[in-house]
């Protein structure tokens, strides 16, 4: 298989890719799934849904590590009694991922809140992809 880039309107650049994750109850980012961008990606949004509601409000954040720079974007406050999903569009300052960047979602310190979620991404036009 060859790695190459295609015309900007090639299906590889317009199809939505997603990374799903689950965050167990407990504090912070102890066992948070982390993802590495396989090519240039644009992260569009994060959808969060409580799997077990919390005892207090808890703030979730989207983290990107690019080289030695870490960028944190607050997503939503989720917690006590919330049973529906929350979709948060990411600001342009948090969305452009380079190949090899790490990205993930962390939750705050609520001990009982467990989250399921999805990060919606598209491949950056003209980024290298494997054919």
Q: What is the pLDDT of residue 30?
A: 55
CATH superfamily entry for domain 19-124: Galactose-binding domain-like (2.60.120.260)
3-state helix, strand, coil in the chain (%, to 5): 5, 50, 45
- List the domain boundaries for the chain: 19-124
Q: Contact at 8 Å (CB) between 38 and 99? A: yes
**pLDDT tens-digit profile of 14-58?**
788 888 998 888 766 556 788 999 889 999 999 988 888 788 888
The answer on pLDDT for 97 being more than 60 is yes
Gap between the Cα atoms of 61 and 71, Å rounded: 10
The answer on pLDDT for 1 being more than 90 is no
Map residue 13 onto helix, strand or coil: helix
């Amino acid at each position: 298989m060859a790695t190459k880039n295609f015309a900007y309107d090639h299906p590889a650049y317009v199809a939505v890719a997603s990374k799903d994750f689950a965050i167990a109850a407990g504090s912070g980012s102890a066992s948070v799934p982390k993802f590495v961008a396989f090519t240039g990606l644009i992260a569009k949004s994060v959808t969060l849904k409580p799997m077990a509601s919390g005892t207090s409000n808890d703030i979730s954040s989207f983290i990107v590590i690019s080289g030695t720079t870490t960028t944190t974007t607050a997503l939503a406050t989720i917690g006590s009694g919330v049973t529906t999903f929350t979709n948060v569009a990411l600001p342009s300052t948090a969305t452009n991922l380079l190949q090899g960047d790490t990205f993930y979602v962390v939750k705050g310190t609520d001990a009982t809140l467990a989250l399921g979620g999805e990060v919606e991404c598209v491949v950056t036009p003209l980024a290298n992809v494997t054919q």
